[in-house]
Amino acid sequence: MAFSVTILGNASAKPTPTHHPSAQVVNLNEQYYLVDAGEGVQQQLIRRGINPLRLRAVFISHLHGDHCFGLFPLISTLGLMGKRTPLDVYAPAPFGEILDYHLRYFDSELPYEVKWHEVRTTEHRIIMENSTLEVWSVPLRHRVPTAGYHFREKQPGLNVDKWKIEHYGLSIAQIVAAKRGEDIYLEDGRIVPNAEITYRPYEARSYAYLSDTAYSAKAAERVKGVDLLYHEATYAMSEEQWAKGRGHSTTTEAARAAVKAEAGRLIIGHFSSRYKNHDALVEECRTIFSNTHLATEGEVFTIEEQR
């Protein structure tokens, strides 16, 4: 199954001539989820070839404008595009009040329902689940209540080795039992351990989005083992005091979080507009965590299946 993250925006606070505020799309098996929705997000979706009608849900980390101002025009546009199915929005309070005002004054006759689900930013728990995915909230450290999001693919079911089916002459009932994880009892009295005849087609994968936040060892622990980690790196390491005062992280703090999380790869973004070139920022991270990449707008990060 496909599992990827498309970067739509990588800037902090304000857009620049070349960068947009925070927004990403997570794609798991052609199910699309929008993570944060900075200004201009609907244009960015169209530029990257992602049909906004395919969005299953939206996850807003916190109620600063550079993370949510783009959601309201997107809600209107989806109505114009003929959306009929509900749109689930996960966001901290008081987003519900803001949404009510928007719907009352701008979108009172939408052809679909916008359903707000409150994210409690002090709780680490599952907030959304379906047959292939669970999404966890991750408490973060920022100036306002903020949650990160951990997208965890569910473990795929067991497959039965075709050669073992033929070798043991397994019936359909025995194959079904093996897929349930049961040992198999043969007619001659032998017991075939489940592990001998079954295998996982691939290992479950995960992606974590940690922004906006000061360095948090606890948040990193909560996403331990994540395959792909996005962590804000608003400032260079020389501006640590400025970062602390604003509730943000430096490059080296993002790298430390990746080490603590035992992440497979690190993506850094949410760059201050003072930086015109981001190459030096990623190099600072690589001194601590070598497998670091820039959240370049338009780039797609794929999490490959590990068999």
Residues annotated as catalytic (active site), given as ranges: 66
CB neighbours of 21 closer than 8 A, spacing ≥ 6?
9, 11, 12, 13, 14, 15, 38, 39, 40, 65, 66, 67, 69, 70
115: helix, coil or strand?
A: strand
Task: For residue 293, list its beta bridge partners.
Answer: 267
Residue 75 and residue 41 in contact, taking contact as beta carbons nearer than 8 Å:
no
Burial of 141 (0-12, 13-18, 19+ CB in 10 A): middle
Strands (E), the chain: 3-9, 23-28, 31-37, 55-59, 87-91, 114-118, 126-129, 133-139, 147-153, 159-160, 184-185, 191-192, 198-199, 206-210, 228-232, 265-269, 292-294, 300-302
The type of residue at 77 is: T
Residue 219 and residue 140 in contact, taking contact as beta carbons nearer than 8 Å:
yes
Q: How far apart are alpha carbons 282 and 290 in whole angstroms? A: 9
CA distances from 301 to 12, 24, 243, 267 (A): 20, 11, 27, 9
Closest CA to 24 of 250, 265, 216, 211: 211
